[in-house]
Chains A and B, each alone.
Chain A
Amino acid sequence: MNAARWISVCLVAVGLLAGTASDTSRKNPVVMLGGYRVLAADFHIHSFPLSWALLGPFDTVVEANRQGLDVIALTPHNLIWVGEAGQWFSRWTGSPRVILGEEIVSRRFHLLGIGIHRTIGWNQSAANAIDEIHAQGGIAIAAHPLKKYWRAYDAEARGKLDGTEVLHPLAYQDPKGYTEMQEFYARAKVTAIGDSDYHGLGPIGWCRTFVFVREDSEGGVLEAVRAGRTVVVDRDGKSYGNPQFIALAANDPEFQGLLRPPSEAGLRGNLAMTSRVCGMLGLLGLFVFGCFRPERSWRQIPGSGARG
């Protein structure tokens, strides 16, 4: 049994070493289209603690860099200080750009305030919350606007929105919900946004927005969203957003390169696979055979055979 335990420990160690060696960041090439710089952005990201997320703010920033995101908005539930920690860290590391935000979570709607500096209360109407976001110089994005939230977005609120999520991981698990988000986008006639609503599961930026900016700055990103200069491409290759930029993007090989997830081919891919397989086998072995040397009495049991 000791041999099985030691083999398990070694497998976990190999998994850890291989995974750490494959943990490299991806820097996107500078892509210019129609005179604008194209940035990959995810405006709906949660961090530990308080927002049902697994990764802390620093780790979230590093992970966004690894997944080739140029801009992220940290959007804790009904607060912003977790985002401030991530923004401080990104200024120190240099990339990606972190914009402060908040997911205003109420019973009737979920709303993203991006580019804000103070917490916005949830106990108000969507239209009032959007006014507060605008008063702070931010943009308001309807978060996963499923049918159950539509009542909160009355004509007044829809008229004030800057954008709405048209692509979200819900698209992969709930076709009805995906259709509802598309319907809301068609009704609201605002900027198309693709967000991963990241809580720590799966790749950050799995759903993302391509923003066409005049300048690579927070102000530049917010201005581009207000002006509707975004493109979102869904799992089937269907594009949403500004038709002019969709047409430009469709024929540009560099833009098409941005759509693909970070390359896991070659040595990096092999290391990642080694890490997955060895790590899982090792952890399973530690569970089955026990990770600690059994107590003395465990070995001393009469007739217990090879146990221990």
Chain B
Amino acid sequence: MHFTAREDAEKMGQTNSGSESARLPPWAVSPEVWLMFRPKAAYEWLADAPEGRKNWTAARRPVYFAFLLGCFVSLVASQRLTLRHVAGGAINGGLLLLAQIAALRIVCWRERKVSFSRLVDLFFAGYGPWTLWILAFSAVWAFLPPERAFAFGWSGSIAVTAGLVTIWSVYINYRFFEGVLRRSKAGAAWDALRIWAMCWFVCILIFGWGALWSEYLRIPGR
């Protein structure tokens, strides 16, 4: 996790300077996979890559992730992919992604070095851990009989694994702010924490508002 793109390249006998590019690690079959395991090197390299079509660049990964959330909802709710579940889940989950984009806008309000559409694309490319988590839970509910899935996939394991994935994601985002936006270590850490705090706040509001005061904040009843 501590190698830079240059170090990666030097190990493989190439440099990352001038017109030459670093050779990618052979296992990095996609930016998402590379970012999961070498986020610093990957973000430094990706930040230098030329930008594609701007409008689609901003939308493509959030739209794909919303689709993935829709597939997750469909697989856990009905053990198959259906249009109605995928569409509904994508719309509901899309609210969280919009919140994440808004949080990114707030954190990068004064950023001028990189266009916002590019920032959104690079930020969502770091969603590999969440993608893996979603696929794993989808597989549990899609393939195990309900009584075993209930035993495996109930609140405890969901909370623990989601917590671990959040920590992994915060680290990737830390590298995002450091590698793409050239923030200092402290600034990158602060921005990564801020963005996830905002995202979880919105998530809890949208999903858990009903019982927020009465149970989670432990306001005593009479």
Contacts and interface: CB of A to CB of B under 8 A. Distances in A.
Is the contact region of chain A dominated by helix, strand, or loop, or is it mixed? loop
Interface in B105-157: 128, 131-132, 135, 138-139, 141-143, 146-151, 153-154
Contacts of A16: 81-83, 86
B151 A48 contact: no
Contact of A66 (B30, B74, B78): B78
Nearest to A288: B29
A19 B29 contact: no
B207 A297 contact: no
Given A78-B211, A107-B219, A49 B21 contact: no
Contacts of A265: none
Contacts of B206: 49-50
Contacts of A215: none
Interface residues on B, range: 35 or more
B78 A283 contact: no
A184 interface: no
Contact of B151 (A56, A173, A289, A303): A173
Nearest to A169: B150
Given A20-B83, A276-B75, 7 more contacts: A18-B80, A50-B208, A107-B220, A172-B150, A202-B77, A280-B75, A287-B30
Pairs of residues from A and B, 7 with the lowest C-beta to C-beta distance, nearest first = A290-B30, A77-B210, A19-B80, A275-B80, A19-B81, A77-B211, A172-B150
Interface of A: 1, 12, 15-16, 18-20, 22-23, 48-56, 58-59, 62-63, 66, 76-79, 105-108, 122-125, 169, 172-173, 200-204, 206, 235, 271-272, 275-276, 279-280, 283-284, 286-292, 294-298, 300-304, 307
Interface of B: 14, 20-24, 29-33, 49-50, 52, 60-61, 64, 68, 71, 73-86, 88-89, 91-92, 128, 131-132, 135, 138-139, 141-143, 146-151, 153-154, 206-211, 214-215, 218-222
